[in-house]
Amino acid sequence: MYRMDDVLKVHSAATLTPAEKKFVIDYSWRQGGGFYRGLIETIMLADSGNQRKLAMGFPDEVATVLRWQAGDLAERVRALGVEV
């Protein structure tokens, strides 16, 4: 769950890309829906070959999911004092 001050910390963080901010707020905190949620879940489920294909159309989203899966993105969000 999120708090509004956490949203503001993420939104204003210079250490996060716009795609990473969207991922944390819309996907991780379950605020987004529809196409975006389905896209992220598809990227997460895809093998590396299909992730490369998805990256042709959605490079920022694939890169963000890969950073999330590696733990780098969550670590950077926690460094902001925000729990994910």
pLDDT tens digit at each of 84 positions of the chain: 568 898 899 999 999 999 999 999 888 777 777 899 899 999 999 999 999 999 999 999 999 999 999 999 999 999 999 988
**3-state SS string for the chain:** CCCHHHHHHHHHCCCCCHHHHHHHHHHHCCCCCHHHHHHHHHHHHCCHHHHHHHHHHCHHHHHHHHHHHHCHHHHHHHCCCCCC
Confidence (pTM) = 0.86
pLDDT digits (tens, 9 = 90+) for 33-50: 789 989 999 999 999 999
Residue 1 pLDDT: 57
Name the residue ranges covered by the structural domains of the chain.
Answer: 4-78
Cβ contacts of 35-43, under 8 Å, gap ≥ 24:
40/65
Rounded CA separation 31/2 (Å): 10
